[in-house]
Amino acid sequence: MKQPSHRAQPLTAPNLPRPGKGGAAGPLPSGRTSVSSTPSSNPTLVTVRGELDLASGHQVRDRLGKALAASSSGLELDLSGLAFCDCAGLNVMLELRHRALSQGKTVTIRAAGPAVGRLLDLVGVRELFSPPTGAVRATASSRARHHALAGAGNTAR
């Protein structure tokens, strides 16, 4: 069997703070994931660190689901501590967003490290997780354009 010509390296930011620890932190050990939340904030701030992939997706999905259920308006995700995220991890976030929208809540990404940011950009879903104020402006602008076009069409009759 042919050996790969390169080995993937995790993208991590140095000195990430560890939840509950006062000092500097390095990346979590390979294959580990940490999810912590601040339910007193509105929306609830949730920090995800480590790796979000097929192996950790079920655990993260459950933790995010519980945080969403406990929140009144939705979740704000800090993903700056994710060293790795694959398509299974992205699917966890997209499912969470879908569930939140069905409950009249939002899911936004407050911060994303290089690995997650690149994935969001490559797949073209970064805007789905932008803050609601931007989405409201875009929706209002879209409606105004639609009404203007509809009005222009009505005058031509």
Return all residues near 4 (Cβ < 8 A) that are at least 6 apart: none
Domain ranges of the chain: 33-155
* pTM (predicted TM-score): 0.66
For 116-130, what is each residue's pLDDT tens digit? 999 999 999 999 999
CATH class entry, domain 33-155: alpha beta
For 8-55, the three-class secondary structure string (H helix, E strand, C coil) is CCCCCCCCCCCCCCCCCCCCCCCCCEEEEEECCCCCEEEEEEEEECHH
For 39-79, what is each residue's pLDDT tens digit? 777 899 999 999 999 999 999 999 999 999 999 999 999 99
